[in-house]
Amino acid sequence: MTIGQLGNAWQITRLGDAQVICANDEWCLTLPVASGAKYHDAQISDYKTTGDFHNAPPLRLSLKARFAGELRGTAGFGFWNHAFVPGERGFRLPQALWFFFSSPPGNIALAKGLPGHGWKAATFDARNWRFLGLLPVAPLGCLLMRSRHMYDALWGIGQRALGVYEVLLDAALLDDYHSYNIDWRADGAVFRVDDSEVLRTDSVPGARLGFVAWVDNQYAIVTPQGHFGQGTLAVPQRQSLYIRDLRLGAL
């Protein structure tokens, strides 16, 4: 399905002062200059509620994207289970396959050897049996992870249980149009940028997910050591995500 074929199926979200415009088959998702006093989110998705999720493997997402402005908050595109949105009630253990950007002070540091922010290709599946089995000992695990020795020895188990697989991408990609693909199969996923493979994983969510593309001004802190936090950031200059040639189709 292309932008035109989807037609009115797209759900447009404008929270705070965010803007969403589609012209000449190009989406422009924008946050204007704003304070950090409230949440701003420019978003398109293919679902109204979590009951509308219909994306399942074998499926391919392809699009071209670029960003403009100094990004403050998070942004990206791909598939997720609408785990949490500021201002909405409820929280679900997150599942995602996506290209994801986070700026400091955001720190989602769940992949060993990688920073907790930046432009990434990533998977996440906190609803699989491995992680659910570890939940009863999670508080103790967070305390153990505060020892560098224990973190080095044991966090690989926690990362695999969460289904976290990431690769840090070159931040220079953000400034110009590049092509992005996710091939999602029942037994794994392949992420490509400009037709070059950047991430391959055999760990993928087993549930239907929704497509989302967004730019917002929130940040989150989640670390193996049990550090958690979230908030909203000031937007010192206009920041945008531009998307064209968006397609979702069976492999």
Model pLDDT for residues 172-203, shown as the tens digit of each residue: 999 999 999 999 999 999 999 999 999 999 98
pLDDT at 7: 45
First-to-final CA distance of the chain: 12
Which pLDDT tens digit goes with each residue over 124-171? 998 887 777 777 888 888 999 999 999 999 999 999 999 999 999 999
Give the residue from 79, 20, 14, 94 showing the smallest Cα distance to 46: 79
Give the residue from 174, 218, 175 showing the smallest Cα distance to 72: 218
| Domain edges within the chain | 3-250
Enumerate residues 6+ apart whose C-beta is below 8 A from 55.
Answer: 46, 79, 184, 208, 209, 210, 211, 248
Q: What is the rounded CA–CA span in Å between residue 108 and residue 239?
A: 21
DSSP H helices in the chain: 3-6, 129-134, 138-144, 148-161
Question: Check: CATH 2.50.20.10 for 3-250?
Answer: no
157: number of Cβ within 10 Å? 12
pLDDT at 55: 96
Q: 13 and 44 in contact (C-beta within 8 Å)? A: yes
Q: 202 and 184 in contact (C-beta within 8 Å)? A: no
Average pLDDT of the chain is 92
Q: What does R_g of the chain's alpha carbons equal in angstroms? A: 18
Beta-sheet pairing, 26-31 with 19-23: antiparallel
pLDDT of residue 110 exceeding 90: yes
pTM of the model: 0.93
